[in-house]
Structure 1
Amino acid sequence: MQGSHPAAASSGELILAGDLGGTKTLLALARTEAPSVPVLERRYESREYPDFLPLLQDFLQEAGHPRIGAAVLAAAGPVSEGRCALTYLPWRLDAQALARVTGIARLEIVNDFAATARGVVQLPESAFATLQTGQPQDQAPRVVLGAGTGLGVAALLPEPTGMWRVLAGEGGHIGFAPRAEQEFALARFLQARHGRATAERVLSGPGLVAVYEFLNESEGKGDEGLAGGADAAAAVARRGLEDARSLSRRALDLFVGVYGAFAGDLALLFMARGGVYLAGGIAPKVLPRLRHGPFVEAFHAKAEHAGLMNGFPIHVVLEERVGLLGAAAIAAESCRV
């Protein structure tokens, strides 16, 4: 929902939430009483702006430069001491500098998957598609991962108060763990291209394209008419869903198998009996192959620990705005402190 002008909301302190990614940036204004209900929300193409500040100024100008009590910006990159260099954009964020320019006294920058994890616990059941029911435990850790422009990872750890503590990092950049000869060959292909083969080099939009290019190089049976550039991943995914005999289908299934293996590793790492949640832009778009491809089989294939894997619930997050909703929830909480 795009929302109305901020003046239409009559009560509660105004908060600003942002989800800043390599492809798109979402910004919203909401009230502390209803942080999930925006009074103004906009989507921007991130690469159309040389830096974040001009984008933010455009948004605030449209909003009429309202008084904002708190802001939380979820950024796709490592965050340290209020600063973040986005991984796939030339943007450099500094919370103190942005606070000075905008006049927002309480402005915080968080990792995008910290906000995504926080958003997951806000969502209704209808916002998920279940791949495996498992035996969910309410007060057990949960893990959230998601392939999009990059690969994000965060965990949710239960607190005695009933709240959740979010543990976010750069888990997408851990090493890629091949399971069979084809994946070992893929790892060598990525190693030669990048100097290091990471999980994100496979499990992302650019990673899906790299998998396709690897198969095309090794098999020489490329599909005709695939778009290049930013649309290449979408083209591979679309053709892979539509044509079971295409190279794109083999690339998509290789991608999905690696996704399942990686998700299973994270489930074991955190013993995520509360659930494994697939967020990010790719999972909802390839849901049929997540359901009927090799994802669950790869998730289960854990040798002596295979017997544990049936117990982990697995859900796909269908709500594109989950990171924005999480950032809004964090901002609303900061106003109540």
Structure 2
Amino acid sequence: MERTLTGYLISGDIGGTKTLLQASQLQDNNVQVCCERRYASPEYSSFSYILRDFLNDTSTFGIGSSVASACFAVAGPIAKQEATLTNLPWVMDKEDIAREFSIPKVKLINDFEAAALSVEVLSAGDLVTLQTGNPHAGGTRVALGAGTGMGGAWLVWQGGRYIPLASEAGHMDFAPANELQARLLQYLRKIFGHVSVERVLSGPGLTNIFNFLQADLKSAAGLTQVRLEDDGAAQVTDLAFNHKHPIAVKAMDLFVEVYGAYAGNLALAGLCRNGVYVAGGIAPRIIDKLREGGFMKAFRDKGRFSSLMGELPVHVVMNPKAGLLGATEEARRMLVEND
């Protein structure tokens, strides 16, 4: 049951590359954004330094000592409200944050819990539909997405609203679907030993695919070898889209095929009849490639269940602040609902 309340909210989307923080005012249950800042996460030794800087920066709004609720979406697993970031040497603890910054209500959620929570507040303009499907009201949903890593969360209908179920599904085993993908798996095993989905579906994963194809394809023999950064996703997409580099084009095709198959696996595992939402930083940048058909072909290619896969709605989340929206919505809920 919701109550009418007023107060300031802090929300954050904290990843290995960037941290977005937002301060909002809750007025009669309506959220009004006051200010927002972006920080380069690797430049700080802990999250506390970022939050302190943000609160000092926003002190002119009178927010610092009046924060009633805070929710932070974190790129990493959370246990007992303590989080260790997957791609940063940070540890975040709910009680430590509440005590240090005198915030009565603090909650840490997985970054894809936040992305999943944003689905309820996204506008139609925030989505690109790849498959309309046949949505079932109250059916399970899933949000997934590649960026610095690969994240995912399911949404189940309980008590009149959707409840997010966090996961670390990006660290499931990579399952090749054809001979080329099987060779990719063997190539990556020699480098990493265990090969998770994230080794393929992420910024560094796209780099891995490109490097594999340079070594694997005979057509690469006549091309100048390209050296990429550890996360060379931007380089690969530039080579593919702007320069039509044949290896980069092939890398993008392979990335999209694996992405579609993996999205289909998560959708099938949760029987997500009310929607599959592809979020993360990469999907909006390659939306034209996702619309070409390779993604959905791989999504539906589930043998005897291919017909069922054609019934599931599939959308791409174009709003780059979906995680922040979800964290803000949870911070609002923490205040207005009787837990």
**Does residue 235 of the first structure (1) align with residue 235 of the second (2)?**
yes
Offset from partner CA, 1:14-69 (integer Å, 9 cap, x none)? 01001000111100011234665410111111111121111111101011124100
Equivalent pair of 2:68/2:105 in contact (CA under 8 Å):
yes
> Alpha carbons of 1:168 and 1:30: their partners in 2 closer, same or farther (altered >3 Å)?
same
Question: Displacement, 1:242?
Answer: 3.1
Contact 2:207 2:230 in 1 (8 A): no
Query: For structure 1, which segment, 225-234 or 16-25, has the greater mean C-alpha deviation from structure 2 after superposition?
Result: 225-234
Gap regions ≥5 residues in structure 1: 1-10
For 1:237, give the aligned amino acid.
Answer: T
The aligned residue for residue 43 of structure 2 is: 48
Structure 2 counterpart of 1:63: 58
Q: Give the whole-Å Cα distance in 1 for the aligned partners of 2:232 and 2:39.
A: 21
Deviation at 1:245, TM superposition (A): 5.3
- The residue that corresponds to 1:330 in the other structure is 330
Distance 1:70 1:224, change over 3 A: farther
CA contact (8 A) 2:70 2:103 kept: yes
Q: What SS is found at the alignment partner of 2:11?
A: strand
Amino acid at match of 2:246: S
CA apart distance, 1:304: 0.9
The answer to whether the aligner puts 1:157 opposite 2:156 as a matched pair is yes
- The residue type paired with residue 297 of structure 1 is K
**1:1-337 matches, cutoff 5 A:** 12-33=6-27, 37-64=32-59, 65-159=64-158, 161-219=159-217, 221=220, 228-229=228-229, 232-244=232-244, 246-336=246-336, 337=338
User: Does the CA contact (< 8 Å) of 1:71 and 1:331 recur in 2?
Assistant: yes
Using a 3 Å threshold, how does the CA distance of structure 1 residues 69 and 226 change in structure 2: closer, same or farther? farther
Aligned to 2:200, the other structure's residue is in SS state coil
Q: Quote how far apart the aligned CAs of 1:273 are.
A: 1.1
Per-residue deviation, residues 148-169 of structure 1 (Å, max 9, x unmatched): 000001011112x421111111
Contact 2:81 2:108 in 1 (8 A): yes
SS in 1 for 2:38: strand
Give me the whole-angstrom Cα distance separating, in 1, the residues matched to 2:30 and 2:227: 39
TM-score in terms of structure 2 length: 0.92
- Paired residue total: 326
Q: State TM-score, norm by structure 1.
A: 0.92
Q: For residues 35 and 76 of structure 1, what CA distance do their matches in structure 2 show?
A: 27
Unaligned ranges ≥5, structure 2: none
1:97-151, CA deviations, whole angstroms, 9 ceiling, x for partnerless residues? 1111111121111111111100121101110011111111221111100000000
* TM-superposed deviation, 1:266: 1.0
Aligned-pair CA distance for 1:243: 4.4
CA distance in structure 1 between the partners assigned to 2:31 and 2:315 by the alignment: 21
Give the distance between the partners of 1:289 and 1:140, measured in 2 at CA: 28
Equivalent position SS for 2:233: helix
Which stretch shifts more, 272-281 or 218-227? 218-227
Counterpart secondary structure, 1:200: helix
Of stretches 116-125 and 32-41 in structure 1, the one that deviates more from structure 2 is: 32-41
The two structures, once aligned, show a CA RMSD in angstroms of 1.8
Residues 239, 245 of structure 2: 8 Å contact kept: no
Mapped to 2, the partners of 1:293 and 1:200 lie a distance apart of 22
Q: 1:252 to 1:37 in 2, by over 3 A?
A: farther
Identical residues among aligned pairs (%): 40
Q: Is the 8 A contact 1:117 1:166 kept in 2?
A: yes
What corresponds to 1:6 in structure 2? none
Distance in 2, matches of 1:97 and 1:224, equals 52
User: CA, structure 1 residues 133+260, in 2 after alignment: closer, same or farther (shift >3 Å)?
Assistant: same
Quote the Cα distance in structure 2 between the aligned partners of 1:263 and 1:201.
Answer: 15
Greater Cα shift, 28-37 or 322-331: 28-37
Structure 2 residue identity aligned to 1:328: T
Deviation at 1:239, TM superposition (A): 2.0
Question: Cα deviation per residue 1:262-292 (whole Å; 9 max; x = unaligned)?
Answer: 0111111111111110000000000111011
